[in-house]
Amino acid sequence: MSKIDGKTPIPFSVMSGDGESFGVGEKSYTVKPMLVGDALKFAEDGLFIDVQLFNLGNKKAKAKLDEYLSRYCTDENNEPMSIEKITADNWNVVHLKQFVKKLVDISG
């Protein structure tokens, strides 16, 4: 991509479906791009992207968020993440927001 359009090029790892990493403390996690069917479902689910407190405070939204974590976020051992695991790994709501934003960003 040219510098004129101001867009960041998509890494090959994302285009190939391998995902993109991000860190929380000393640990590294991988976020993979959504499948088209899940992206359509995500759009219909109405999850908040910026304010994770609303997702965590609503049982249905929290369950959907947990589903996306388990499908599209893995830890250093390639194990799927969950609300329970991110709590144990001491994620804060900003880390959760970073996951959701990265998931949306790399998915398209």
Is residue 22 within 8 Å of 98, Cβ to Cβ?
A: yes
Q: Which residue has the higher pLDDT, 70 or 5?
A: 70
CA torsion 83-84-89-94 (nearest 10°) is: 20
Is residue 31 within 8 Å of 103, Cβ to Cβ?
A: yes
Give the pair of three-digit tokens for residue 95: 């880390």
Give the pair of three-digit tokens for residue 102: 């990265």
**Is 2's pLDDT higher than 60?**
no
**Is 13's pLDDT higher than 70?**
no
Is residue 20 within 8 Å of 106, Cβ to Cβ?
A: yes
Domain extent listing, the chain = 19-107
Give the pair of three-digit tokens for residue 62: 């929290």
Q: pTM here?
A: 0.80
- pLDDT tens-digit profile of 39-79? 999 899 888 888 888 889 999 999 999 999 999 999 999 99
- pLDDT tens-digit profile of 18-45? 789 989 999 999 999 999 999 999 899 8
